[in-house]
Every structure is written in C-alpha cells, then in structure tokens.
Chains A and B, each alone.
Chain A
C-alpha cells in the first residue's frame, strides 16, 4: 500500500458456492469482521472517522465465484501469515477462505492499478433441448475472434455508450469441463471445494483486459457470433450457469506475474522506515 508504514500484507481469498450471491461490499464487510474476530492488528486511517486500512482489488460481480480475489491490508505489527490464513478463514462464511498471504513492499502499486487482466472459466448450459455440437461453439468463437471490432452498446454510469470489446478479449476458447482445482499460485484452498451443480454443457475459458477498464465476461459472451444469432443473448441457445474468476494477472516489463508475486517480500524484515 502506497506510503504505508508498518506491515502491509496482500491476501488471496476465494469465494465459492452459494456465498457467490453476496455483493462486493458484503465481501468487504465479512472480511473486516473476520479480521476483528481474529484480533488482527489492523492499521487505521487518521482523521474524523478512522477506517481500517484495507483496500480491495477489482470488484467481483454479485453471483460470480472466484479462486483469485485479492486485498491489501495495513498491519501495525508483524504476524505469522500461516496463523492469519487459518484464523481468518475460520471466521469467514462457508465458501470463503484466505488461500495465501504475503508481505508487501511498502510502496507497492494498488491492486486496482496493478492488475492488467483477469481469467474466467464460464460454465454454460444449453437451454431446453437446444444442445449443439461443441464444434459449433468453436466456430462461433472463431467468428468473434476474427472480427476487427466488436461494437456493443453498454450501460456506463446510467448512459448508453458504444464500446469496442475486441481489444479487451485476450483469450477465448473452449476448455475442458470443470474448473481447475489449482490456480497459478497454487491450490484453491484446503478442504473440499463447495458444491458445483453444473456438470454438462460447454466450458469456456476467457481472459479479458482490465485496463483502461474492466469488461464483464457476459459482455464478451454476448458477442459470440453464430451467424444470424447471438447464442448467449436472451433465450438463444446458451445460458450462463456459473462464472468463476480463476486468476488475475499483472503484466509488467514483459513479464506476467500473479499479484502475490509482484511487489512482495519474503517476510517483513523492517517495518516502519
């Protein structure tokens, strides 16, 4: 955390199963409460209404799951990170857990600014008896990727604007069924992964840019081009069942890093400078 004194840490946490229905704001509140239950030595902002120094990365839309959520927190003293992981996880709702934690460079760029792209796995199901061959879907993907521009009308702050989604689509392909149990940074979390109801349909893998702004996977899916139809649009063929964020990426100076690899320290050698 920029300009922070003390012991900044970065956590990776997961949000799986039915807890996916809580909002980004609810996630933040649940984590802050878990920190207090664990008695984590949180640093507070100065001023009239002190707030704990916790900053969250890119908001995950309500209803999405994730194995790769991140937050940065300022601590006033060094803690054992393994204890932090176990303790905070135990105080979080079922389906949420801290998977990993690192100490952060004091002047690390914020997650919002540092993260350049995110990966998703989308499980889609055929609506009704409309199941098609996977090769059809492959063709639609190629149609989309071949386009020079994918202009769509999107709602931004209450007004409709036309945006070209094509530059933001970094990867789109049919993947093997299911969500991997590993993230680029290691296992999802200890213990069983919460229920997943979808076992059939089509699995899509997707990476989208988050700079200059994030786009949603559903916006990309809306551009899937089946000739006369858009299969993901209302009532047409495919319906999204689950979306899982599987990774976040920081592209910097030609290298591709996970947030726990960037700007981190092995341990908090010196805190306040």
Chain B
C-alpha cells in the first residue's frame, strides 16, 4: 500500500475546495490493505459534495469494512482543475482514506444513479490508469463493477463495466467479495474465470458472458454458457430491520448536498406513480421497525453532532404510524434543543402539512409538494391521484401554519399531455399564491418543471419522449401564462433531458457514443455549465445512430427492449396493462392497503410488504384524502373491464366492494 499523499498535497494548494480530497471525516476508516482481503474502491462519478451523501455508498462502505475478508475506501470524480493537475503530474485517481492509487484496488465499484454521469465513469476509469473498455483489461487490472438504479438498463455501459450488481447490495456485496476472494486465493490468473463465476451469482450481470445479435434494429442477448442466466433478477433485502445501516454515517468536513443525518425509514414504494422508476424497481415496501428508526436517530445525532435529521424514503409520510413516530422523535429531541427533523417527498394533503407543522416548529420558510401534473386527467394517467382540492387544502393549511413559500414540482412531456394539461400547472400555481395572499402579502409559489424522461421497467417505458422542441414549447407556454403573475417558474434544460433519454433506454451501441463524448472532453454533463448537446449529437451521427429512434419513438407491444434480460420482478404484461390503463386514464390504488393486483414482485420473489404498524397512515394512502382505515374507498375506477386479467377472483371481489364503499 503506497500512499500518494506527499505528491498530491502540493497540488491541493492550487485547486478549488481542496478539502474534497482529504478524507478525514468523522466515521472514516483507514483500512489496512493486505493480500488476503478483497479491496473495494467505492466510487460515485460526480463531485464529493454530490456523491458523499449517497446512502447506498455509505451502507456498502460499512458492510464491507466490517467483513474480515474485505475492505473499502472511497473516491469521487475530481473536479476539472484537479484532473488537470493529476494528468500534468502523471498521478492517478486516488482513494480518500489512504490516498492509494485506484489501480491498486481489486474492485472499482461505481454507483450509477444518473445517466448524465456516464462519461464521468469513463473518465474515472481512465484516470485510474485502467483501460476504459472491459475487453482490453488484463488480469492485473481491477474489476470494474457498477450498481445503482441506472443498472436496471445496463446496456449503454456494458462495454465499460465488467459486472453489474442489480438491486439491493447489502447481501450481494458480500457474495461478490467471496467469489473474488477465492479467485485471488487461487492466484487471480484468468479474468474470464472470475467473470464467469460472478455471472452465476444471483443479481450479477456480466455483459461479456453473453453473445449479442440483432433482430432487425433490436439487440438480443444469448448466454454463452449454460450456467449463465438468460434473465438476471434483482436482489432484494427482505427485511430492512436486519440492516440498520449506516451505523456511522460519515460527517463531511465540507458542505455537501443533504448535509444532515439521513435515516432510511423504508425502501420501496407501492403508490404506483407510473413515471417513477424508483417506485417500480424497489418493490415491495419494507418499512424499518419504528423502534429501530428511533434508535438510529438518537445514536446518529449524538455521534455526528448534526442538528438536522431527515427520515428518508420515496414517500416518507406514507410510513405506517408516521404521526406517532414523528411525535416521539420531536418529544425526545426537544431536550437537545434546536434539532430539526425533515420528511422529504411529502405527500400532498392537509394531513401531511399537520405533520410538517409538528416537526418544523421554527424556520417555517419553504415547503415542497409534488403534484407532478396540472390536471386531474393527467394525474390519473400518471397515477398520482391528488385532486385539486387536496392541493388547495394542503396549501391553505401550510400558509395558515405560517409557511410563506411553497414549491411545487411538476413534469412536462408526459404521455397524452395536451396544452390544457400543461397550462393547468400555471392555474394551480396561481391559485396557490392567491390562497397564500389570504394570509400574507409575502406568499409566493414556485413551480419547478422537469422534462419527463421515460425509464426502463416502468409502464411508460414504451412512450416516445417529447422532442427538445416540444418540451421547449411547453415551457414557453407556461412562461407566458405565468408572466406578470406572483408565481415563479423554474425549468430543467430540455436538451439535457434529451441526452438523458438517449442513455436511459439505450442499447449496447450507445456505449460508443458515450466513449466519443468522453474522449472529446464531455465530462460533468449533469452540470449545466459543462453540458454539451453538440458533442452527443455529433457522436450519435458518427456512430450511425438516430437519436429520435432512441428518444422520441414510441415502442411497440412485444418489441425487444434492451433491458429485457434484467428483471425487477415486474411482469411485462403487468407493465403493459398498466400502460394501457394509463392511456385510458385509470388510476390504480396503493397495494399496501388494498388488494394485490399482482405486479409480480411479491409472488415471484416470495416477498411481502413489511410495515412497521398495521395502521395505514391517517389521511389515506394515495393522497386522495380518503382514510382507508375507516373503510373509505379510493375514488377512482381501478381498471377497465378485463384489463387486469391477472386479478384473482377473490381480489376482484374485494376491489369491487371497496370501490362501492
């Protein structure tokens, strides 16, 4: 183990925010390397400030360092100034703990959380001194692995990554360690041997173990060996209570995004928002026992010194018994003084505002809701079943409780979206401001507009994304509609959404495009000041690929999809039926509290929802204001007759009963 610190230190006097590269956070380990252990370098391909708060990275960091046969260090994408210094001084990418060269590790493990970071992955591999293409690596090179949500379509990165880990990593990281450890013990001679063995670990996808052929324009994969699976199923941790991680969340010395104690209260989401890949691929819902949440909050605060804790999940107000949990935490923390609690991803209703008031007794400045679409029709299409009344009641409650600034998240470019749906966003924002003006002249509302990018393993995976021009036109409609009003509009660059669309549903051929963009200096593409659409279009053209075929084209039923060999447990006919139901403007209830509609995950993987309390959250489960515990019904038609053919007879009967209630 050779530390590069003496050579790196002089460079840090010349770069921005040098503290990003020193490590030294509270909770950091400085593991000793030895040949017996499998050494992992956990990498997030963006800056330290963006990557360090990633909970997956922190969980794996602890789990691996607790194992006697493994060790883990971290690194992030160096900012452009340090990259220049490293290259000028012939120094490689290094780890933050021991400042060891990245190439000294057995595994370079990337977290793929956003498609626009793909070129940074290549840059990091190259800075490590490792060939960027998997096929060109030798036995002495580290294994390049990747996990995270983007790996549910691994194909665009398949040329560069030796093995993908799909799904929850808690158990998988250990199994991978054992395979690599045994291979090292045998002398680590043949890379092909370890890759073949890794391909047999459930949840691991090794691109080089498959033959690629084409049916017309469509890619088809065939396993090269009998023991390599044709379908790679995601891994799922059955009970979050078994994994109380991170136990020692690192406390960064520099300010990072989400700079606070983060306690994951549940994983998975069954609200069924059709645009949301995270909700689809992380099923079923696994709530952490409330006692464990309380312990993790208490211990975390007293160990880190943070005065801010966030209860994280995909929809935190949906945690069963959330009101009791919040009340307990607020009471327990009130002695320590000025600890603030936050629930991200708030549901839109007055009940949620009640919880928010409970936890945010001071600093009531801004509150954020995500209605996602401007009209009820549109929200039925995307299955975000919030009525206008829900939103206005929530806004009224928020302003009445002293909040002055509301932020509303919306998507544009959704399936079947018409101009009246887009303009509905302006109406909602304007009405929210008016409600606020009844309380304070300082009331304001910001509508934040994202461009919708269809994602694999969702009912919208067949939908042709809006073109740049169409998204820009819709943004223009809203800018005009909100001009000279008291509501503000913020929007995401449609060109960046377009490139995200190329990578999101791309196949293996897109790899060459990513490589070309990287070779021409296209790094940090998720940073608007570095984003370059021209590089992507040029690279697509040179690779002979039509961007519209990937991005704006509607997929046909039964068309081979590049991610067909990866399974999140969702039956493709479930997704197709849900897509049809979306087009028919039919919503679908949250299956935690209503009968199973058999998406496939629980049944195929023998899993169950794990809830912390048998009581559904007060205020209803789909943001409809309906309290299902009191026997209320979800006020939507659940399915077109025959659309959900898989619904079993007893379930169908119960569904019919509850919709009459």
Q: How far is the CB of B17 from chain A (nearest CB, A)?
A: 8
Interface SS of chain B: loop
B363 adjacent to A48 (CB under 8 Å): yes
- Give B1-34 interface residues, CB cut-off 8 Å to A: 5-6, 9-10, 12-13, 17-19, 21-22, 24-26
**Which of these, A19, A23, A29, A48, contacts B22 with CB under 8 Å?**
A19
Any chain B CB within 8 A of the CB of A49?
yes
Report whether A22 and B19 are in contact in the complex, using a CB–CB cutoff of 8 Å.
yes
Q: Contacts A26-B253, A197-B6, A197-B9 known; A50 to B19 CB distance under 8 Å?
A: no
Contact A18 B13 (CB under 8 A): no
The answer to whether B253 touches A93, judged by C-beta atoms less than 8 angstroms apart, is yes
Q: Contact between B305 and A33 (Cβ–Cβ < 8 Å)?
A: yes
Report B278-311 residues with CB < 8 Å from chain A CB.
302-307
Report yes or no: B254 in contact with A18, Cβ–Cβ below 8 A: no
Does the CB pair B24–A93 fall under 8 Å? yes
Kindly provide the distance from the CB of A65 to the nearest chain B CB, expressed in whole angstroms: 12
- Asked whether A44 is an interface residue with its Cβ less than 8 Å from the other chain, the reply is yes
> Does A63 have its Cβ within 8 Å of any Cβ on chain B?
yes
Cβ contact within 8 Å between A37 and B19: no
Most buried by A among B21, B305, B337: B305
Shortest B303–chain A CB gap in Å is 7
B251 at interface, CB cutoff 8 A = yes
Contacts of A37 in B (CB 8 A): 302-305
A1-51 residues with Cβ-Cβ distance < 8 A to B are 18-19, 21-23, 25-26, 29-30, 32-37, 44, 48-50
Q: Residues of A contacting B6 with CB < 8 Å?
A: 197
Tell me if A18 and B338 are in contact (CB < 8 A): no
Selected contact of A48 from candidates B5, B9, B362, CB within 8 Å:
B362
Cα A44 to Cα B362 with chains together (Å): 14
Least CB distance from B465 to A in Å reads 41
Q: B419: CB under 8 A from chain A?
A: no
Give the number of chain A interface residues (Cβ < 8 Å).
27
Task: Give the docked Cα–Cα distance between A29 and B9 (Å).
Answer: 23
A62 interface hit (Cβ, 8 Å): yes
Measured CB to CB, the closest approach of chain A to B23, in angstroms, equals: 8
- Report which of B254, B306, B337, B338 forms a contact with A22, defined as CB distance below 8 A: B254
Cα A25 to Cα B21 with chains together (Å): 17
> Chain B residue with minimal CB distance to A21?
B18
**Which residues of chain B are within 8 angstroms of A26 by Cβ–Cβ distance?**
19, 253-255
Within 8 A of A (CB), among B226-284: 251, 253-255
Task: Say yes or no: A33 contacts B304, CB within 8 Å.
Answer: yes
Give per-residue flags for A217-242: 1 if the beta carbon is below 8 A from chain B beta carbons, else 0: 00000000000000000000000010
Chain A positions 80-102 with a Cβ under 8 Å from a chain B Cβ:
91, 93-95
**Does the CB pair B305–A21 fall under 8 Å?**
no
* 15 more A-B residue pairs beyond the given contacts A33-B251, A94-B24, with a C-beta to C-beta distance below 8 A: A19-B24, A21-B12, A21-B22, A22-B19, A22-B22, A23-B17, A23-B254, A26-B255, A33-B306, A36-B336, A50-B338, A62-B18, A93-B24, A95-B24, A197-B9
